[in-house]
Structure 1
């Protein structure tokens, strides 16, 4: 899988829909042990959902970590600074594949990031070790790699015209584990664990809205590889757009995008 370049503006075009799963995750996170909690947000992107943590815990010191300079630039400008309760929100460069906590945390959270990290479940032990007693590790990831949105992209990338350049750059079926795998892994690490799935039915509007959605996320590896060949990039996007129009037909009220996500909340025993 190719490491994608990110476009904060494109990503934020569907910010409301993308933030909703995080608010649902946030609602299931229990109270934290510290009065001035230390919180890490892994894969913070442009910081728009990291800011929601400051609303829930205004006294906390919250650091959002990401490896995209463009995303971090947007986060610094839009969200960094003191919070309403005397806490602080800041951002720093880090790669989730190698990030190791340098201090104890009350909460380590990750929103729509771990599916980009091969072997992410192998990092759980290090992260939970860094939690204070009673602290929480929580994450949500898209769990729809078998949906037409992704299946059609992979099928197109594997056709004779594109397979040389694209067949091995996209996410594959093993990028997210089954819910029971996460439950077992986290429970064996000594955590009281809650794992669940939710399918959202997003009603998107505008011209080719499903394509517009995926340009901000799942299509990024292909766009990155083809960035130096605009003609090929546009041709691939046009072919993919036509497939999406058939798979997600427009209705008079908009285009429905079913989107399943997986959630986990693991509280370290005190």
Structure 2
């Protein structure tokens, strides 16, 4: 199955709503280890770099690297690269989270809305937390709405007779996201002081077919990639999916209500 081709401009169309969970995650990250050296921070699955830049706002003297496997996202992220206000630095590197192994100690490894694309990502927690300096933190946020109508309808449509042979499992790539208690248990078993929780953001989206516009930036990317060479099929699929979303998320007088569940975990290495 080819990797999805990302569109940073489409992804950032809803940047306000997409960034809010990261602010909530950032607020729960404790003070990083004290030491004579500036903090070393990794943003795993950094996307277009807009949230990576928020790390530099909080730790302006830190050396921060954003990692991603999308050339399109890294090209957009490069706009944020360079020295930071407190004497630190911000750079970006092409890396696949599924194969990333830290080669130096980190004070913070954070991943925002990325690990849902990495099957079996919890199996890497031992490597990532093992690379933390004593007192360092691993923090993650992943979408937890894969049984909601937006995603369930996408999976069901991909599996209809018309699309099954061509799209296969493109609409259901997220079954490996764990529940909050599972993240908590795994991180505690690795010797961390951990916290996990979930939040459902009840978002009011504006515009025509805003839920379709939302998923075009995320969950729909594998389908759009698979149909990229057939514009007629692409438009037919989008029209069918649009009609399903309109019924599931009717537009109201003030916009379209779109609940979105997010799962969080923060783990501090004890020694």
Give the whole-Å Cα distance in 1 for the aligned partners of 2:267 and 2:172: 26
Secondary structure at the counterpart of residue 175 of structure 1: coil
- Check whether the contact 1:2–1:170 (CA below 8 A) recurs between aligned residues: no
Structure 1 residue 178 displacement after superposition: 1.6
Residue 70 (structure 1) aligned with residue 56 (structure 2)? no
- TM-score of the aligned structures, taking structure 1 as reference length: 0.98
| 1:178-197 pair list within 5 angstroms | 178-197=179-198
Corresponding residue number in structure 2 for 1:135: 136
Contact 1:198–1:260 under 8 Å retained in 2: yes
How do 1:87-236 and structure 2 match up within 5 A? 87-172=88-173, 174-236=175-237
> Counterpart in 2 of 1:240?
241
Unpaired runs of 5+ residues, structure 1, are none
- The answer on 1:11 being equivalent to 2:35 is no
How far apart, in 1, do the equivalents of 2:169 and 2:249 lie?
Answer: 25
Corresponding residue for residue 48 of structure 2:
46
- Residues 117 and 173, structure 2, Cα contact 8 Å, conserved in 1: no
User: Shift in Å at residue 172 of structure 1?
Assistant: 4.2
Structure-2 separation of matches of 1:265 and 1:177 = 14
Secondary structure at the counterpart of residue 50 of structure 2: coil
Query: Cα deviations across residues 25-76 of structure 1 (Å, max 9, x unaligned)?
Result: 0000000004510000000000000000001111100000000001001110
Q: Tell me the residue number matched to 1:55.
A: 57
1:145 and 1:172 in contact (8 A); partners too: no
Task: Report the Cα offset of residue 252 of structure 1.
Answer: 1.3
**Which consecutive residues of structure 2, in runs of 5 or more, have no partner in the other structure?**
none
Aligned-residue RMSD, C-alpha? 1.0
Counterpart CA distance in 1 for 2:34 and 2:7 is 35
Q: How does 1:10-29 map to 2 (within 5 A)?
A: 10-29=10-29
Structure 2 Cα separation of the partners of residues 209 and 75 of structure 1: 25
Shift of 1:175: 2.5
Contact 1:154 1:167 in 2 (8 A): no
Q: Which runs of 4+ in 1 moved over 3 A?
A: none
